[in-house]
Amino acid sequence: MDFTAERKAMVDSQVRVNDVTNHEIHMAMMAVPRERYCAPDRVFAAYSDASVEIAGDRKLMPARDVSKLLQAADAREGEKALAIAAPYAAAVLARMGLTVTAQESDAAVFEVVGEALAEDGVTTAVAPLDAPVGEGWDLIVCEGGVAALPEAWGQALRTGGRLVVVERRGAIGKAALYVKGREGLSRRELFDSSPALLAELTPAPTFAF
């Protein structure tokens, strides 16, 4: 496969046409080898518009949704970003000139994507997803769906920091942008999206009799 051509086709057909106008995002996504961020036996699907398996239950978010999240987040060169269950977004942000840490709870994910992340200068950390590593982040991004925003994620942002995530309580989720002010977090809905829920952040069902 000609992955360079596949990357350009992905940006042209999945990113630009969905109102993502940020040139830095276009260039970064045409540079990041997305085929290195999915399971080896799923490389053929790396540039499709579907979610693609990485390891365990972790999946790549479609490029369209990643690009729209990052555009809404207004990522800026020189900022410090935390990518939670978001290795591909981590690589894109690094190519845009941010200092990035990728956090996963399952070390098996880094067995697949760790080498590629290291080549892009991304630091990796294995820790529970509801406990962000570090603090004072300018930006936090997640490629998985959450039933509700973990409180600790907002606490890990600096004042003025932004957080983008998909909140999913039904069949269709809503991507949201959070901005941390002095009085707390403000929230704005962005677009519909349906990534798989992150199992460890999904409350167990309760039953009433």
Kindly report the CATH number assigned to the domain that includes residue 33: 3.40.50.150
pTM value? 0.93
206 domain residue, yes or no? no
State residue 208's pLDDT score.
52
128 domain residue, yes or no? yes
Domain that holds residue 14: 3-199
Q: Of 182, 146, 178, 180, which is closest to residue 163 (Cα–Cα)? A: 178
> pLDDT tens per residue, the chain (209 residues)?
788 999 999 999 999 999 999 999 999 999 999 999 999 999 999 999 989 999 988 999 999 999 999 999 999 999 999 999 999 999 999 999 999 999 999 999 999 999 999 999 999 999 999 999 999 999 999 999 999 999 999 999 999 999 999 998 888 999 999 999 998 999 999 999 999 899 888 765 555 55
11 domain residue, yes or no? yes
Give how many domains the chain has, as a whole number.
Answer: 1
95 domain residue, yes or no? yes
208 domain residue, yes or no? no
186 domain residue, yes or no? yes
Q: Locate 82 and state its tokens.
A: 């935390």
205 domain residue, yes or no? no
| 131 vs 103: CA distance, rounded Å | 10
Kindly give the residue spans of alpha helices, DSSP state H, lying in 141-191: 151-155
187 domain residue, yes or no? yes
Q: Is 124 exposed, middle or buried (0-12, 13-18, 19+ CB in 10 A)?
A: buried
